[in-house]
Amino acid sequence: MTKEKEHTAIDISSPPYKLTAEQVAQELETNLETGLSINAAKQKLEQYGPNKLDGGEGVAVWEVLFKQVCFLLETPATAQLTRRLELVIARNFAGRYKREGEFGH
């Protein structure tokens, strides 16, 4: 059984989204045009480990599709269309019974 080497997180002065691309590149000791050299990349891989997220297996494709369909059904435009369809169905239903003399005289 091998024990994985413990890696430290990259130290950066501020969250990257608050810095310019140039500031992030400077703090990460890289170049925006050329990236890392092969030796620098190997050294950072050894120091920080692979760029890998810890956690579960992720989200299944069917779950994403299901959530998107549910969201679509909950949008105001879809709700308005559903109400219109309900009215059309109700009018047709009422009209059919009225023509057949089932309610009213």
The verdict on 47 and 72 lying in the same domain is no
Q: Which residues contact 67 (CB under 8 A, 6 or more apart)?
A: none
Asked whether residue 72 is domain-assigned, the answer is yes
The verdict on 39 and 2 lying in the same domain is yes
Render pLDDT for 4-55 as a digit per residue (tens, 0 to 9). 566 667 788 889 899 999 999 999 899 999 999 999 999 999 988 888 877 7
**Is the model's pLDDT at 104 over the cut of 70?**
no
The verdict on 21 and 43 lying in the same domain is yes
Lowest mean pLDDT among 9-13, 15-19, 62-66, 77-81: 77-81
Lowest mean pLDDT among 26-30, 36-40, 71-75, 100-104: 100-104
The verdict on 2 and 31 lying in the same domain is yes
Domain interval for residue 36: 1-52
SS (H, E, C) the chain: CCCCCCCCCCCCCCCHHHCCHHHHHHHCCCCCCCCCCHHHHHHHHHHHCCCCCCCCCCCCHHHHHHHHHHHHHHCHHHHHHHHHHHHHHHHHHHHHHHHCCCCCC
Give the mean pLDDT of the chain. 81
The verdict on 4 and 26 lying in the same domain is yes
**Is the model's pLDDT at 79 over the cut of 60?**
yes
**Is the model's pLDDT at 86 over the cut of 80?**
yes
Prediction pTM value: 0.43
The verdict on 45 and 70 lying in the same domain is no
